[in-house]
Amino acid sequence: MTFAVSNKSLLICTFLIATSSKILLFPSYYSTDFLVHRHWKAVTKHLPMSEWYFDDVYVSTKHTLDYPPGFAFLESAFANNYVTRTLLQRFILDETCLELLNDNELKDSISNRCVAFMRSTVIVGDLVLWLGAGTMAVAVESSEASMSMPGFLFTVLNPGLIWLDHVHFQYNGLLLGVLFLSVACLLQANKLELRCGKPTAASDIYQLVGAALFAILLTLKHLYLTLALWYFAYLLRRFCFVQNKFSIERLLLLGVGTLHCLMTPFLPLLMTSPQPTLLVKQIASRLFPFGRGLVHDYWAGNVWAVYKAIDKVFAKLFQASLPDVSPFIVGMIMLLFLMIGAKAAWMAAAQRDNHLLLLSLAYSAMVSFLTAYHVHEKAIMTTLVLLTFLAALDKQYTLLLWESTAWGLLGLFPLLFEPREFLLKLTSYMAYMAALYAFVGRTSNTEKAWVGVSLVGVFAVIVMLEGLPISFWGRMEFAPLAVTSLACAAGLIQCFARLTTNMLIYCSVHDVVANATATSIKDFSIAVKPDEIDDVDYIPPVRVVKDNDDDQYAYLLSTKEMQQIAELIIPKGITYCPWRRLYRLSRDGDSFAAFMECVKGQSRTLIVIRTTKGSLLGAFADAEWQNAPQFVGGPSACLYKMYDGTVIPYKWSGVNRFVQLCDANNQRIAFGGGSDDLGQTAFGLVIERHFQIGTTGHCVTFNNEPLCDETIFAIEDLEVFGFLVGTF
């Protein structure tokens, strides 16, 4: 962005604008969920704890308490606090607002002030979302004390959350905030351990807090149980194994801590109840109402919507119907898919890999939306916000995020069905999708075409759903809703397939590489021999994605040289990826800022340099280029030079971790450093003064010869390639 606004003032202003907008939404439509939450506040205000789950004994209502006790305590906190009491005492808020009422009395009892009060509690609850998203945004950044602004803003300003919480009325922001806090703790634990090089007490505490927060989340809303398997697998591997050995003590510690958090909200209820067993049964029947059917009233866009639709078509055409699906079968199918996520979580835990952590978590969330029993369309939000942070962590997922968001949010359209909300939905949807597209950045022509197809689909659905009057459909009046949910299902399943492929490839690749390198990360003194990892299996021919101006600027390397680099330097896991030229000195200009802009979000880059004397040399970097005061980078980084058309690679020696440095203040990047046995220090390769001058020397990090004849050389041209992970 060209606006040089500090993050702090941007945050404050965004907060003010967002909150003002939410207040402006006070008079908008609210659903029965509003009445539900009002009733729960009344229940927790007026009934003793043991009676909370028997509220229908006292009043005739269908808005009975059907969330776990933790949420009941939250409602109780909203209903019984100093501010609320003061509002009631001073008659700013009318008594009836928090009174136990029968359903038939509700119609005339809801005053504007009551609505304002209830909506304010949601705004207060959103503070947790902002806090959680903030910690998440810090946790996904590799450097300390910086924050992923796109990830943060695209989460807190997600129109889906605004529609759900501030129009439809729910507390999703608050719940997601708790989930974020929990995940952020897990991410931080990994960051901490990687930075210190060994497990520390602090990272253990982070994990315990993460587990506890997830337990608290479960007591707030049991819908998140679908993520429990992921959490179990992850924490079992991450926390209960020390140096690949299982430790029963740590499992006990984890189990006791988590169960404690899980049980705490139940205890007061059970202790005060005269018949605890009855209460347990009652709570269970409220929390898991299996009598409700496979799909929700509006079909949420998941596989069961498709199943139902096929069923309907079958019934029409052949007078036959597909077999009924029982909750048990649904559960088994879901479990099967969740197991894959759990496997990935296990790997992420073993490798301390935050990327895979978020990837598998987003996958699990998506599985639970797509395959669970009686899903609400709102459940997609968990997936979308997790994908947002995944995209913030690695930009290759932005397009996937864009498409899932396009379909996921479209699926929420029928939720706000009144005409006055139509323009709200349309404008906020357009604004968000356009901004998200700007975040996606440069796209290839195929990707553009794909986005175009999605746009046409979304447009068609909106016209069907909102543009045509209901009389147009005649006897097919269910058609707009059915088409919406089927289109969303198709879009989301397609995204899910891509997400799954990405995850499986990521897993299979890292299985090989990481097994060999994980040990080396823990112990610097052991030098790995990266060659052993790499020279197995077949290396596919290098493919370079065509940009429009490729004819004008030929590549510095010949195809043969590229192939050699692919064989000798590129980590095996990404040799199948097409290359794309991100930056070319003579094309994009000799500006450091331009370089930074072009390589932003690329976790692996290949640099090719031609000196004015005609030598070819370069480096492969396996960490993103971000301005940081210290060295970053991992074991697959490499320097190389061309000698008579042959690549001579200098791989990481494992002696130190001075792999790559990005010093934007002095406009230079550097590879390799540290002093050798003789006490001499030199960089392996430095490129400075806006890519005009380079220096090279012997460094211990890569144990390399100087990469060309001159120690200081002038750069004639420079190219940077990125790798399109997840594309074939």
Partner 1 sequence: MSPAPVSTSIIICTWSLVALVRVLIAFQPHSGQDNHHGLHAAYGGDFEVQRHWMELTFHLPIGEWYYDDPTYFGLDYPPLTAYVSYVCGYFSDKLVGSYSVAWMESRGLEDPRHKALMRATVLLLDLLVFGSAVWCMTRPQESLRRDYDSLATFVLVMIQPAILLIDHGHFQYNTFALGLCLWAFHFMSKPGHCNCLIGSIFYCLALSFKQMTLYFAPAVFFYLLGRCCAEKGRYFTLRFVSLGITVVATISVMFLPVVLNGPDETTYLERLTQVMRRIFPLHRGLFESKVSNTWCVLSLKPFRIRQQIPEHLQPMAALFVTILLTMPCSVSMFRLGSRGCMAGNQERQRTIFSWGMTSSALAFFLASFQVHEKSILLALAPACLLAAQDYKFVEWFSIVATWSLWPLLQIDRLQTAYFCTMVIYLALLHLRKASLELPQRDEGSLFSHKVLFSWLSNASYAVMITLHLLEATITVPSNLPDLFSVLWSLVGCGCFGVAWLYTCWRLAHGERKEKLN
Shortest Å, Cβ 438 to partner 1: 4
Which span sits near partner 1 by CB under 8 A: 26-34, 100-108, 219-227, 612-620?
Answer: 26-34
Q: How far apart are the first and last CA of the chain?
A: 31
Shortest Å, Cβ 153 to partner 1: 12
Site for partner 1 in 380-419 (CB under 8 A): 418-419
Check residue 13 for interaction with partner 1 (CB under 8 A).
Answer: yes
Check residue 148 for interaction with partner 1 (CB under 8 A).
Answer: no
Site for partner 1 in 599-638 (CB under 8 A): none
Shorter beta-carbon distance to partner 1: residue 29 or 288: 29
Check residue 81 for interaction with partner 1 (CB under 8 A).
Answer: no
List Cα–Cα distances, 460 to 463, 478, 675, in angstroms: 5, 16, 64
Check residue 27 for interaction with partner 1 (CB under 8 A).
Answer: yes
- Out of 62, 85, 420, 600, name the contact with partner 1 by CB under 8 A: 420
Check residue 431 for interaction with partner 1 (CB under 8 A).
Answer: yes
* Cα 104–chain centre separation: 43
Strand 616-621 to 638-643 pairing = antiparallel
- Out of 20, 111, 559, 680, name the contact with partner 1 by CB under 8 A: 20
Shorter beta-carbon distance to partner 1: residue 191 or 395: 395
* Cα 425–chain centre separation: 23
Shorter beta-carbon distance to partner 1: residue 4 or 317: 4
Of 665, 707, 700, 656, nearest to 686 (Cα)? 707
- What would the x/- binding string for partner 1 be over residues 437 to 466, using CB under 8 A? xx----------------------------
Check residue 161 for interaction with partner 1 (CB under 8 A).
Answer: no
Which span sits near partner 1 by CB under 8 A: 18-26, 60-68, 298-306, 503-511?
Answer: 18-26
Shortest Å, Cβ 457 to partner 1: 18
List Cα–Cα distances, 571 to 293, 514, 635, in angstroms: 49, 11, 10
Shortest Å, Cβ 158 to partner 1: 14
Which span sits near partner 1 by CB under 8 A: 5-13, 507-515, 516-524, 706-714?
Answer: 5-13
- Out of 80, 247, 427, 630, name the contact with partner 1 by CB under 8 A: 427
| CA separation for the pair 47, 34 (Å, rounded) | 20
Cβ pair 408, 380 in contact under 8 A: yes
Q: Can you point out the beta strands (E) in 337-455?
A: none
The residue to which tokens 């971000």 are assigned: 626
Tell me the two tokens of residue 464: 């069907």
Check residue 91 for interaction with partner 1 (CB under 8 A).
Answer: no
Which span sits near partner 1 by CB under 8 A: 251-259, 334-342, 425-433, 538-546?
Answer: 425-433
Shorter beta-carbon distance to partner 1: residue 173 or 654: 173
List Cα–Cα distances, 379 to 161, 168, 230, 365, in angstroms: 11, 14, 17, 9
Cβ pair 25, 162 in contact under 8 A: yes
Shorter beta-carbon distance to partner 1: residue 436 or 659: 436
Give the gyration radius of the chain's Cα atoms: 28
Check residue 3 for interaction with partner 1 (CB under 8 A).
Answer: yes
- Out of 202, 271, 284, 423, name the contact with partner 1 by CB under 8 A: 423
Shorter beta-carbon distance to partner 1: residue 23 or 712: 23
Which span sits near partner 1 by CB under 8 A: 12-20, 122-130, 503-511, 642-650?
Answer: 12-20
| CA separation for the pair 298, 414 (Å, rounded) | 8
Which span sits near partner 1 by CB under 8 A: 1-9, 126-134, 300-308, 554-562?
Answer: 1-9
**Half-sphere exposure at residue 239, Cβ-oriented, CA atoms within 13 angstroms:** 29
| CA separation for the pair 665, 57 (Å, rounded) | 69
Residues with Cβ within 8 Å of residue 357, at least 6 apart in sequence? 183, 186, 187, 190, 234, 345, 348, 349
Shortest Å, Cβ 453 to partner 1: 17
| CA separation for the pair 213, 210 (Å, rounded) | 5
Q: What is the DSSP string of 632-699?
A: B--TT-EEEEEETTEEEEEE--SS----EEEEGGGTEEEE---B-TTS-B--SEEEETTTTEEEE---
Shortest Å, Cβ 177 to partner 1: 22
| CA separation for the pair 684, 617 (Å, rounded) | 12
Shorter beta-carbon distance to partner 1: residue 332 or 435: 435
- Out of 430, 449, 453, 468, name the contact with partner 1 by CB under 8 A: 430
Shorter beta-carbon distance to partner 1: residue 7 or 81: 7
Instruction: Give the footprint of partner 1 on this chain (CB under 8 A).
Output: 1-6, 9-10, 12-14, 16-17, 20-21, 23-28, 418-420, 422-424, 427-428, 430-431, 434-435, 437-438
